């Protein structure tokens, strides 16, 4: 099965055919192609194989789409743009900001934004604790950024009242939750097509 067919099948398994159009799927593949090209020089990700990249990066990011609400979202420690740029591609009504401390990753994300025409995406190079945007975010998401307590602490000044933190994790991080001394609003089990490992989305509300 070629990559386009595998992506289309994965979108179907996720039940996202109505949301992720064939044109958006093409953009996801174009994003992947850019990542592979830049990876040779910039080492953006340890994942080299294109099929692994499709599953571990693209489909993993797509799995959270149903839980991202309208409004604006900040992707913290975005790296090469995951899940932020995938959200920007597939949810044009959502204003997406990605932030990373590594300059080459920010340069790459800006190149993706330009080449794919993502007018709803903004890329910030800097430290999240020093970031001072004009408005706060209704959602703050992270994928492998840090433990939950630190994630919430570093972004507390960026989240709107009643806003939501979305932490993408593997197995349920019971130790992290105990250390954070906070009860999540939801723990959502994600089913990523072609992936055997457990994935969860931990949701907190800024009450």
Binding residue ranges: 77, 82, 128-129, 143
Alpha-carbon distance values, 19 to 3, 69, 98, 124, 143 (Å) = 19, 13, 22, 27, 22
Residue 72: beta bridge partners?
95
- Both tokens of 6, joined, read 């595998």
Beta strand spans in 63-182 (E): 71-76, 94-100, 121-125, 137-143, 159-169
DSSP string, 156-200: GGGEEEEEEEEEEESS--HHHHHHHT---SEEEEE--TT--S-EE
Residues forming the annotated binding site for S-adenosyl-L-methionine?
Answer: 77, 82, 128-129, 143
Instruction: Tell me the C-alpha distance between 12 and 83, whole Å.
Output: 19
């Amino acid at each position: 099965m070629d990559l386009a067919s595998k992506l289309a099948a994965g979108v179907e398994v996720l039940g996202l055919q109505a949301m992720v159009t064939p044109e958006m799927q093409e953009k996801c593949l174009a994003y992947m192609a850019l990542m592979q090209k830049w990876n040779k020089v910039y080492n953006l990700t340890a994942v080299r194989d294109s099929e692994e990249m499709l599953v571990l990066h693209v489909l993993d990011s797509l799995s959270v789409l149903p839980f991202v609400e309208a409004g604006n979202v900040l992707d913290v420690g975005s790296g090469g743009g995951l899940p932020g740029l995938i959200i920007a591609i597939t949810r044009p009504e959502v204003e997406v900001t990605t932030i990373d401390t590594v300059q080459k990753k920010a340069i790459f994300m800006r190149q993706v934004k330009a080449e794919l025409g993502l007018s709803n995406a903004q890329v910030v190079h800097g430290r999240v604790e020093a970031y001072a945007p004009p408005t706060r975010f209704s959602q703050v998401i992270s994928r492998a950024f840090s433990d939950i307590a630190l994630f919430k602490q570093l972004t507390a000044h960026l989240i709107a009242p009643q806003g939501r933190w979305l932490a993408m994790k593997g197995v349920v991080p019971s130790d992290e939750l105990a250390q954070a001394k906070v009860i999540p609003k939801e723990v959502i089990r994600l089913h990523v097509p072609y992936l055997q490992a457990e994935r969860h989305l931990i949701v907190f509300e800024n009450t």
